[in-house]
Amino acid sequence: MIPVQGFDGQKVAVLGLGRSGLATAAALRAGGAEPLCWDDSPEGRARAEEAGYSCRDLTRHGAFEEVAALIVSPGIPHLYPRPNQVISAAMEAGVPVDNDIGLFFASWATDDFMRYDQAPRTICVTGSNGKSTTTALIHHILEEAGRPTQMAGNIGRGVLDLEPAENGEVVVLELSSYQTDLARALTPDIAVFTNLSPDHLDRHAGMGGYFAAKRRLFAEGGPDRAVIGVDEPEGVYLANQIMMGRNDDRLIRVSSARKLGDWGWSVYARKGFLSEWRKGKQVASIDLRDVTGLPGAHNHQNACAAYAAVRALGIAPRVIEQAFHSFAGLPHRSQTIAEKRGVRWVNDSKATNTDSAAKALEAFPNIRWIAGGLGKEGGVASLSEHLGAVKKAYFIGHSARDFALELAVEHEICETMEAAVAACARDAEEGDTVLLAPAAASFDQYPNFEKRGDHFAQLVDALPG
């Protein structure tokens, strides 16, 4: 773990005792602090006490006496739509509020760094869509290049659960807006902004607040290099705020929609080809069309962002290209799980809204589409313009009939995943893609999107080869 620096001999309150909260308590203790833990749920408090930590009711009057700081788990609101009562009490008492990301950046560098031939680096990835894939892809490329690397944050491990840095190591962190919004220290070496679309708007009081939370990674952090997706206005604005001129190569622009060759340093994908340009000249190109782990324009944007981040570390294009081909993709995100009798089966159970489902529908030909679940506010009519490759839809779950009414596409009401997979196996022809991209939440039939995707994969695995 990363021992937290700066609180030796002091009491530090920890609010929220999930994965990151317990890792924070352990890291505080390792750094000489006394963690005082609290969670609204008795189960959370019991876990902390079983691990040997003291619990203090942070809702009672005077709870913050002699407390040096309050460390908050990311899911707990500190401002909008209204502050949690414990956070309000800490602020009223003049106690600094932080999260594990802030503690990580305040504690990551140690005296050991002075003895290393190559200083450890951090790459942080934020944005609305593609964060997890981009983070995992950067980590995979570094592994394939033989660089020591760890991955954490909003994916995998809590940041304070990482091991202390080795010589030349690169830590890759996925950071959500909840994490960047509150962290008191943000000092990445390389920061990546993938894109922006509406999400978590109640937590940030609208799009402006949501973008401001993402922007903090660049405005507060001052990274040595910034990789910015410029396919939305917010990305264009952020790039403009960072650059000192057109040829400023501290900034790498990324696009999956247009050519960017006139800028100082850019990486873009068009018609399935990734191109790197520097000072008006193309310096590298990669054919992404046969990279099975990165299908579709949205994944090509992820590939461009990851490519740019590791190029900023000096990784060679040919090494990156080889790593692209060995990248299996993340579970439940446009993941090819089987090819049987000439039919490709793809699990994109993570496509829980229309925006992500639209990207999946644009990524494959000859689609037999499994969709439905617990429908979201606003319906799915916006998907009508993305159905050009859909041969037939197979609707499941609570919203099956609503989807059928909203979308003018040949369809079958299947209700269950079992029935949908069986119907697709019956209908699919060689060259077809069976795509699970639900455009709905899973909670009508499954506890989460992972269980839904796992069930789909199990059913596909049981089909004859």
160-454-294 Cα angle (round to 5): 70
Contact partners, residue 339, CB within 8 Å, separation at least 6: 345
Contact partners, residue 336, CB within 8 Å, separation at least 6: 292, 293, 295, 329, 344, 345, 346
Which helix (H) or strand (E) is 411 found in, with range?
Answer: strand 411-415
- Bridge partners of 67, per DSSP, are 11
Residue carrying the six token digits 């005792």: 17
| 107-137 residues labelled b (16+ CB within 10 A) or e (exposed) | bbeeeeeeeeeeebbbbbbbbbbbbbbbbbb
Specify binding-site residues for ATP.
127-133
DSSP-derived 3-state class of residue 423: helix
- CA 305, CA 29: separation in Å to the nearest integer? 37
Residue carrying the six token digits 């639209």: 358
Specify binding-site residues.
127-133
Give residue 334's region: left, alpha or beta (phi > 0; psi -120 to 50): left
Q: Which two tokens stand for residue 99?
A: 């999260």
